[in-house]
């Protein structure tokens, strides 16, 4: 099977530019994938997506080099395993707050004897190849979301779990957890301090740090600081922004 392109980019010291998919449609996902994103994340946690829509969206990505990522709704073994069976090459798991949470994430996404993932890669075999069962443990990228005060308290314990590849910061939830405004880029000082701390500790543990951003400028600034996975906008936001730009020009004229 092919090497996970996220791992290749990180080994080269590069930052992956990730887009977000919120529209439950295979064709819109396909259009996004053909624009050249390094990866695209199907978001099952928030919005209007369900599992059948996710499968169609992953199918839309298959003809491109874009890495298929799924953010699952919660730390729960069933949806993690089914997302991987559907062909996801990376999973982002929200609300990982303790070392035990992180250990479960790794175990549920890893085949025995190292983990407890159940075997049934129905679609993954089609898109990744016949050797998927032998290569899956090394191919899959596992992101733990750090977005709570409890996760901050347990940060080094979480980062020390063997098999964790990356962390992903949700600035809005982290801001709320610290009593601040829920924003992506222009975060309040306590949140910025927490983000800097998470990045520093992740780098110390050899773990890739990723983060959600609201603008390309914000993402570029964070990439310059050392983040190696930056999300910029979503299909729904791009559709709205493009429509607003056209309508503004037309009505002004």
> First vs last Cα of the chain: how many Å apart?
53
Domains (range + CATH), the chain: 5-252 (3.20.20.60)
Q: How many CB atoms lie within 10 A of CB 198?
A: 23
Helix (H, G, I), strand (E, B) or coil at 49: coil
- Catalytic annotation, pick one of 34, 46, 205, 212: 46
Output DSSP code: residue 134.
H
pTM of the predicted model as reported, rounded to 2 decimal places: 0.97
Q: Is 46 a catalytic residue?
A: yes
Residues 6+ apart with CB under 8 A from 248: none
CA distance 248 to 253: 9
Residue where the block lists tokens 């996220």: 6
What are the structure tokens assigned to 128, written together? 């990744």
Give me the pLDDT at residue 1, please.
86
Q: What is the pLDDT along the chain (253 residues), one digit of tens a residue?
A: 889 999 999 999 999 999 999 999 999 999 999 999 999 999 999 989 999 999 999 999 999 999 999 999 999 999 999 999 999 999 999 999 999 999 999 999 999 999 999 999 999 999 999 999 999 999 999 999 999 999 999 999 999 999 999 999 999 999 999 999 999 999 999 999 999 999 999 999 999 999 999 999 999 999 999 999 999 999 999 999 999 999 999 999 8
For residue 145, the Cα-to-chain-centroid distance in whole angstroms is 9
């Amino acid at each position: 099977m092919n090497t996970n392109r996220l791992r290749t980019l990180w080994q080269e010291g590069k930052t992956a530019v990730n887009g977000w998919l919120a529209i439950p449609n295979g064709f819109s996902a396909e259009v996004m994938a053909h624009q050249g994103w390094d990866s695209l994340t199907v978001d099952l946690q928030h919005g209007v997506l369900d599992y059948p829509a996710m499968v169609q969206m992953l199918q839309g990505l298959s003809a491109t080099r874009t890495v298929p990522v799924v953010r699952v709704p919660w730390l729960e073994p069933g949806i993690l395993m089914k997302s991987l069976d559907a062909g996801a090459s990376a999973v982002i798991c929200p609300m990982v707050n303790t070392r035990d949470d992180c250990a479960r994430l790794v175990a549920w996404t890893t085949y025995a004897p190292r983990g407890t993932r159940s075997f049934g890669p129905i679609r993954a075999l089609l898109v990744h190849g016949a050797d998927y069962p032998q290569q899956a443990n090394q191919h899959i990228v596992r992101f733990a979301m750090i977005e709570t005060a409890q996760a901050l308290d347990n940060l080094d314990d979480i980062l020390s779990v063997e098999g964790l590849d990356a962390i992903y910061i949700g600035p809005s939830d982290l801001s709320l957890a610290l009593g601040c405004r829920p924003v992506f880029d222009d975060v309040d000082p306590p949140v910025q301090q927490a983000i800097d701390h998470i990045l520093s500790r992740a780098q110390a543990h050899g773990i890739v740090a990723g983060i959600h951003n609201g603008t390309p400028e914000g993402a570029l600034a964070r990439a310059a600081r050392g983040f190696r996975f930056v999300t910029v906008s979503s299909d729904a936001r791009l559709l709205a922004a493009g429509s607003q730009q056209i309508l503004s020009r037309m009505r002004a004229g």
